[in-house]
């Protein structure tokens, strides 16, 4: 039996029946990581000893008959989550030696359930990137084609699943950082509504946009993991105090009679032919399942990338001010006083893309430019959010491509930051609006690369988009596959 | 030009980034291109539109002012580049 070829729900049965143990499972994943990480580079830190200890504890809990849904399940998390006594670099040289003194709430919730955290996943530095090429730990390779990017910034979180190194993972999504890599790696990834999952202990990039979410091999596992981490947290005053539904209870209810909107601004000329074909086929599948397809308009879509790169960078310039070489991180001091120490530490510790975004954000917030850039962008954000709310008056969900092309080649866009930013045109608007979305496999390109489908939902309608995603997944045969490597 | 090299140097000082001359050079061109792109927001009339700072409408989040356990000095300083055992040490500020 190949343990890493199963899903969470299948493994839970095998753990309950005693057919396998968490220790055996954990060892299988650790072995797969050891055998494949040189190729994929998805893990920054592997927590072998901690994972085996947690697995042994989980086995006792299962034997005692008080297992929770995640007990004994090996998971891996993006290196953006503070994880007690484990190195947490956020993909940056400036946090090269940082060991978390506490657990993020999402991690604490998983530990309470007895999940086994097997390691910390590679990512674009401070979650800034669309290709996972901006990591101090080196680029992640797409398991389906090692010359291509896995997407970003949660590139490690998506690649590890496609490579069979983890059953499911946690990522974060600020402008598409869960959905775009999920699409490029052929896995399922969900960006919850802003406030659905606590951000406490998650290293901040752009606080009004960042959201934690699950990635998994199938929709059901994604729903299970979301249920395990969602909920109000007094430690995050932006988390929302609304009950977490049982996402599995309604998962298989189908889409008959649902109204699915196609925003015409997402079906543009620049769309890759294979992507268009796959998404068109998905639309036909939903029609066949009894959904009603309606064209809608999100008229301000074309302004989302510009709006995002002002708001996100402004927030980043403020959030990243904390990396000053005083309380943590790698200090560089050449004896030029306190401000000299700050400036040298930051110049030496941050990579090019992070510097670029701090510079842009600092500029957008600086005296004389605030109204023209930052305030203007916040007003445009209102228009973008209103577009979605208007569309959701007419339809239950929206269906779009995730990315305009399948995974591109490593190095293809590194010299042109603006081209890289434009690869996020279909994912960014959702973060500005604060709504939920899911990416799931819907086909392959002529070169065999995965293509993703995006379903967008109303505020806190995670159950509804999971339901629609499950209906598609179980009518087609695109997802759940592992790259052989 | 949307931004000059001098302005980029000024922003780098504000951001506390000791950028090398070649970094400043590259940054000027890239920021110029990006600022040129974001200019498209000016195509939109936003007169009278309220700015959105936060996607979820929120009131102030109040809580009771209660003493609770905190992380402690040892944990808080475990990653510090320099301490004297209770304080973070930094280069001398006042001559």
* Mean residue pLDDT across chain B: 93
| Chain A residues lying within 8 Å of B63, measured CB to CB | 234
CA distance B95 to B83: 20
| Chain A residues lying within 8 Å of B46, measured CB to CB | 376, 379-380, 383
Between strands A74-78 and A168-172, the pairing is parallel
Domain boundaries B5-43, CATH class: mainly alpha
For B78, nearest residue in chain A (alpha carbons)? A101
- Which residue, among B1, B34, B53, B86, would best test binding to A if mutated, counting the most A CBs under 10 Å from its CB? B34
Q: What is the pLDDT of residue B62?
A: 87
For residue B27, give how far its alpha carbon lies from the nearest alpha carbon of chain A (Å). 7
For residue A324, give how far its alpha carbon lies from the nearest alpha carbon of chain B (Å). 9
pLDDT one-digit tens code per residue, A237-295: 999 999 999 999 999 999 999 999 999 999 988 899 999 999 999 999 999 999 999 99
- How many contacts does A have with B, using Cβ atoms within 8 A? 168
Mean pLDDT of A327-342: 96
CA distance A368 to A148: 42
Q: Measured between CB atoms, does A350 come within 8 Å of chain B?
A: yes
Integer-rounded Cα radius of gyration of chain B: 22
Q: What is the pLDDT of residue B88?
A: 96
CA distance A437 to A367: 36
| Chain B residues lying within 8 Å of A238, measured CB to CB | 54, 56, 58, 61
Residue B18: which of A317, A347, A434 has the nearest Cβ? A347
User: DSSP characters for A372-422?
Assistant: IIIIHHHHHHHHHHHHHHHHHHH-SEEEEESSSSSPPBTTSSTT-HHHHHH
Q: Do B34 and A360 touch (CB under 8 A)?
A: yes
For residue A96, give how far its alpha carbon lies from the nearest alpha carbon of chain B (Å). 11
Q: What is the pLDDT of residue B58?
A: 76
Q: What is the pLDDT of residue A418?
A: 84
Mean pLDDT of A34-62: 98
For B53, nearest residue in chain A (alpha carbons)? A378
pLDDT one-digit tens code per residue, A380-415: 999 999 999 999 999 999 999 999 999 999 999 988
Q: Measured between CB atoms, does A242 come within 8 Å of chain B?
A: no
ipTM of predicted complex: 0.96
Residue numbers of A annotated as active site: 78, 153, 177
Mean pLDDT of A165-181: 97
Q: Measured between CB atoms, does A303 come within 8 Å of chain B?
A: yes
For residue A1, pLDDT over 80 is answered with: no
Q: Measured between CB atoms, does A76 come within 8 Å of chain B?
A: no
CA distance A434 to B49: 18
Confidence of residue A95 (pLDDT cuts 50, 70, 90): very high
* Mean residue pLDDT across chain A: 96
Q: Structural domain boundaries of chain B?
A: 5-43
Q: What is the pLDDT of residue B55?
A: 84
Q: Measured between CB atoms, does A370 come within 8 Å of chain B?
A: no
CA distance B30 to A416: 8
pLDDT one-digit tens code per residue, A110-135: 999 999 999 999 999 999 999 999 99
pLDDT one-digit tens code per residue, A344-355: 999 999 999 999
- In chain A, the percentage of residues whose pLDDT exceeds 70 is 100
- The full set of domains in chain A, from first to last, is 3-252 (3.90.1300.10)
Q: Do B8 and A379 touch (CB under 8 A)?
A: no
| Chain A residues lying within 8 Å of B58, measured CB to CB | 238
| Chain B residues lying within 8 Å of A299, measured CB to CB | none
For residue A2, pLDDT over 80 is answered with: no
B22: helix, coil or strand? helix
Report, as ranges of residue numbers, the positions in chain B whose pLDDT lies below 70: none
Q: What is the pLDDT of residue A5?
A: 79
CA distance A134 to A93: 11
């Amino acid at each position: 039996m190949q343990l890493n070829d199963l899903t969470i729900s299948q493994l839970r049965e095998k753990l309950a029946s005693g057919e396998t143990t968490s220790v055996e499972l954990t060892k299988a994943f650790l072995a797969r990581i050891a055998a494949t990480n040189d190729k994929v580079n998805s893990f920054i830190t592997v927590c072998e000893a901690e994972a085996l200890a947690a697995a042994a504890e989980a086995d006792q809990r299962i034997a005692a008959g008080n297992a929770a849904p995640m007990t004994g399940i090996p998971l891996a998390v993006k290196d953006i989550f503070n994880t007690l006594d484990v190195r947490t670099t956020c993909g940056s040289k400036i946090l090269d030696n940082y060991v978390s003194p506490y657990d993020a709430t999402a991690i604490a919730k998983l530990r309470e359930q007895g999940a086994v955290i097997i390691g910390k996943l590679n990512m674009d530095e401070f979650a800034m990137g669309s290709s996972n090429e901006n990591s101090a730990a080196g680029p992640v390779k797409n398991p389906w084609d090692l010359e291509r990017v896995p997407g970003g910034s949660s590139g490690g979180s998506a690649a590890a699943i496609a490579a069979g190194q983890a059953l499911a993972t946690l990522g974060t999504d600020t402008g598409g950082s869960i959905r775009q890599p999920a699409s490029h790696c052929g896995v399922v990834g969900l960006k919850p509504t802003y406030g659905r999952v606590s951000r406490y202990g998650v290293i901040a990039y752009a606080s009004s946009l960042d959201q934690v979410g699950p990635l998994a091999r199938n929709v059901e596992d994604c729903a299970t993991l979301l249920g395990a981490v969602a909920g109000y947290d007094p430690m995050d005053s932006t988390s929302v105090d609304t009950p977490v539904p049982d996402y599995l209870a309604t998962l298989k209810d189908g889409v008959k009679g649902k109204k699915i909107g196609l925003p015409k601004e997402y079906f543009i000329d620049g769309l890759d032919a294979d992507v268009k074909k796959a998404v068109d086929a998905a639309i036909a599948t939903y029609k066949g399942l009894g959904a009603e397809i309606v064209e809608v308009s999100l008229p301000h879509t074309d302004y989302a990338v510009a709006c995002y790169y002002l708001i996100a960078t402004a927030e980043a310039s403020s959030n990243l001010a904390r990396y000053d070489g005083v309380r943590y991180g790698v200090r560089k001091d050449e004896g030029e006083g306190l401000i000299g120490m700050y400036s040298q530490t930051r110049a030496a510790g941050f990579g090019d893309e992070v510097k670029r975004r701090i510079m842009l954000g600092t500029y957008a917030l600086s005296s004389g430019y605030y109204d023209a850039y930052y305030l203007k962008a916040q007003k445009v954000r209102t228009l973008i959010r209103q577009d979605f709310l208007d569309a959701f008056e007419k339809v239950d969900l929206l269906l779009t491509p995730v990315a305009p092309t399948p995974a591109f080649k490593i190095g293809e866009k590194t010299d042109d930051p603006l081209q890289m930013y434009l690869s996020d045109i279909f994912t960014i608007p959702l973060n500005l609006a604060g709504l939920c979305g899911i990416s799931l496999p819907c086909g392959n390109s002529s070169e065999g690369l995965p293509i993703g489908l995006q379903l967008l939902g109303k505020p806190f309608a995670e159950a509804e988009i999971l339901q629609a995603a499950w209906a598609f997944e179980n009518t087609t045969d695109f997802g759940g596959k592992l790259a052989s490597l | 030009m949307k931004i000059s090299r001098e302005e980029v140097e000024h922003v780098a000082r504000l951001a506390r980034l000791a950028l090398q001359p070649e970094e400043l050079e590259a940054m000027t061109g890239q920021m110029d291109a990006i600022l040129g792109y974001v200019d498209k927001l000016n195509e939109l009339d936003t007169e009278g539109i309220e700015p959105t700072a936060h996607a979820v409408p929120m009131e102030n989040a109040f809580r009771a002012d209660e003493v609770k356990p905190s992380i402690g000095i040892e944990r808080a300083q475990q990653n510090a580049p320099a301490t004297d055992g209770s304080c973070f040490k930094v280069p001398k500020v006042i001559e």
